[in-house]
Chains A and B, each alone.
Chain A
């Protein structure tokens, strides 16, 4: 079946540091890939997505590239801010069987300090 593996957290960085959160996946077919962010006490928000190999998703300074050869979708940001502190979830969607099921990783907590 499908699965998503994320690096474990928490990840603690100083403001303006470079961020990488690793994500690899296992899937049959050709899934779309997503990063969702969850701020404290809130629901999941879509951060970015990529629907096919070599696509780059980007939003709010974050970006991730769909790498089919390494089955990866690592999240990066050049300079993090305190307001980026949240839990980040990598996910894939599977349209086989007529559904649109999202399979999530376990999440990576990011803490950004001044």
Chain B
């Protein structure tokens, strides 16, 4: 069974630029999550989708971050404009439903200069 796919794996941008990350969850998984992992810290949930609806986005900085999952499968996370403190690894995870184990992708490492 294929795992969670993410792209790109690495991205370097300058502050105030925009960037987008893509995630393809495990087939059949209804729930999708985006986490931010800053160096030396544990991942922090940014947003959770159930199919194409948002369940929890309480820790998403909505002035600059946005995410969508239009057809209930793939998802994109966008940052516009980026700040230096957005440098982190962005992890996508999926689960069969909201109570099941989360499986993580390899992450996208973002460096903002």
Q: Which residues of A contact B (CB under 8 A)?
A: 4, 34, 36, 41-46, 49, 89, 91, 93, 95, 97-107
Say yes or no: A99-B43 contact (C-beta < 8 A), given A43-B91, A45-B104, A49-B101: no
A24 → chain B closest CB, angstroms = 14
Contact of A105 among B33, B42, B103 (CB under 8 A): B42
B98 an interface residue at 8 Å Cβ cutoff? Answer: yes
Contacts between the two chains (Cβ within 8 Å), count: 62
> Taking CB as reference atom, which chain B residue is nearest A99?
B56
Indicate if the CB atoms of B45 and A101 lie closer than 8 Å.
Answer: yes
User: Beyond A46-B102, A99-B98: 19 further Cβ-contacts under 8 Å?
Assistant: A4-B42, A43-B4, A43-B107, A44-B104, A49-B101, A89-B42, A91-B42, A97-B56, A99-B48, A99-B56, A100-B99, A100-B100, A101-B45, A102-B43, A103-B42, A104-B42, A104-B43, A106-B40, A107-B40
Residue pairs across A and B with Cβ atoms less than 8 A apart, 27 shown, are A36-B104, A42-B106, A43-B4, A43-B91, A43-B104, A43-B105, A44-B104, A46-B101, A49-B101, A89-B42, A93-B102, A95-B98, A98-B56, A99-B55, A99-B56, A100-B31, A100-B55, A100-B95, A100-B102, A102-B33, A104-B42, A104-B43, A104-B44, A105-B42, A106-B40, A107-B40, A107-B42
Residues of chain A within 8 A of B105, CB atoms compared: 43
Indicate if the CB atoms of B42 and A106 lie closer than 8 Å.
Answer: yes
Residues of chain A within 8 A of B93, CB atoms compared: 44
Bound together, the chains give a CA A101 to CA B35 distance in angstroms of: 10
